[in-house]
Structure 1
Amino acid sequence: MKKVAIEDTNGHASRAFQPLTEALGATGLALNYYERASGEHIGDCYHRHHKQEEVFYVLSGTATFETEDGDVEVDAGELIRFAPGEWQQGRNDGGDRLVVLALGAPRSDEPMDLRRTCPSCEERTPAVPEESDGEVVFYCEVCGAETGRYGW
């Protein structure tokens, strides 16, 4: 058994993200804690996993998940599950702070399919992430334009 407090884990405070998998020593699932202000996304890209299913439990606020079938709102006390292969990205469209616990199983380091809106192509295209000086920079796979940059 292993017990941890969210504030005692080694997270990225500037993005209100706490990776809990390693802190708990979990081997069969990925576990992440998110807090997001209004207008912020859960994760950096519209994406899908090939083998992993994801469950998001909304602890407070309302999460809006963009899916292939349209937007789905998930309120505090509700959960949403995405099967392997289903496209999704969560965001906070509300005025209250969003707090979400995300679980993924099986735990996998497999690459995901990532999509971001490219300013040059003017559409959502495959995204390629690269780490550079403590940041993750996303580039359009089609034209090479930068589509986002995140640091912690």
Structure 2
Amino acid sequence: MEKVTIDEVEIEVNPLQVHDVRRPVTKALDADHVAMNYFELAPGDSFSGGLHTHHDQEELFYVESGTAEFEVGRDREIETVEAGEVIRFPPGEFQKGYNPEDAEEDVVGWAIGAPGARHDWDEIESVVYCRVCEEERAHGTRINEEGRFEFTCTECGTTFQM
């Protein structure tokens, strides 16, 4: 058995620095089969930074307080998630969750992914602008040795990092 309080879990932010508070509960509890992260999102902050999907993991987001918005699918349909609500994304569904810029309050939320406590980077795709294709394309996504996100266009093979 493992037990922690949220305040005991060290803050680790996304390499894109799209939020100030992310507490990887999975790591603190040494969990193997589920990923769980606690977030505090100020207006303009996001859970992950960009439209993406996990082909090997479903994700659930629980909004404890505030109101989050999610861009869903490649057409980026907006879905609003209020305090006390949960939204689920099956493997392969693109999504991006965030606290809107004009929000009047922070969002406190939880991201839960299963199966697996860690990402299989070969199974993640992000939708970003490709400078060679000159449009948004799906990109393979990984964190490189420098701790930065690296994107490789699935159409032309161009690689860049952020």
TM range (shorter): 0.7 to 0.9
Q: Which amino acid aligns with 1:112?
A: I
Q: Deviations over 1:4-51 (max 9, x none)?
A: 111211222672111110211222100011111111111022111112
| Inter-partner Cα distance in structure 2 for 1:105 and 1:137 | 22
Shift of 1:130: 4.2
1:57 is matched with 62
Give the 3-state SS of the residue equivalent to 1:4 in structure 2.
coil
Aligned CA RMSD, in angstroms, stands at 2.3
Q: Which among 105, 109, 115 is matched to residue 127 of structure 2?
A: 115
1:33 is matched with 38
| Inter-partner Cα distance in structure 1 for 2:89 and 2:56 | 11
Residues 124 and 140 of structure 2 are in contact (CA less than 8 Å); yes or no, is this contact kept in structure 1? no
Identity of aligned residues (%): 36
Residues 124 and 141 of structure 2 are in contact (CA less than 8 Å); yes or no, is this contact kept in structure 1? no
| Inter-partner Cα distance in structure 1 for 2:64 and 2:135 | 33
The question of 1:78 aligning with 2:85 is answered: yes
Shift of 1:52: 1.0
Q: 98-107 or 137-146, which moves further after superposition?
A: 137-146
For residues 64-103 of structure 1, what are the structure 2 equivalents within 5 Å? 64-68=69-73, 70-93=77-100, 94-103=103-112
| Inter-partner Cα distance in structure 2 for 1:85 and 1:130 | 20
1:47 is matched with 52
Q: Which amino acid aligns with 2:119?
A: D
Q: Which has the higher strand share?
A: 1
Q: Which among 20, 25, 30 is matched to residue 20 of structure 1?
A: 25
| Inter-partner Cα distance in structure 2 for 1:26 and 1:129 | 22
Please, what TM-score do these two structures have when normalized by structure 2? 0.77
Give the 3-state SS of the residue equivalent to 2:27 in structure 1.
helix
Residues 25 and 37 of structure 2 are in contact (CA less than 8 Å); yes or no, is this contact kept in structure 1? yes
2:11 is matched with 11
Residues 125 and 141 of structure 2 are in contact (CA less than 8 Å); yes or no, is this contact kept in structure 1? no
Give the length in aligned residue pairs.
Answer: 146
| Inter-partner Cα distance in structure 2 for 1:77 and 1:37 | 18
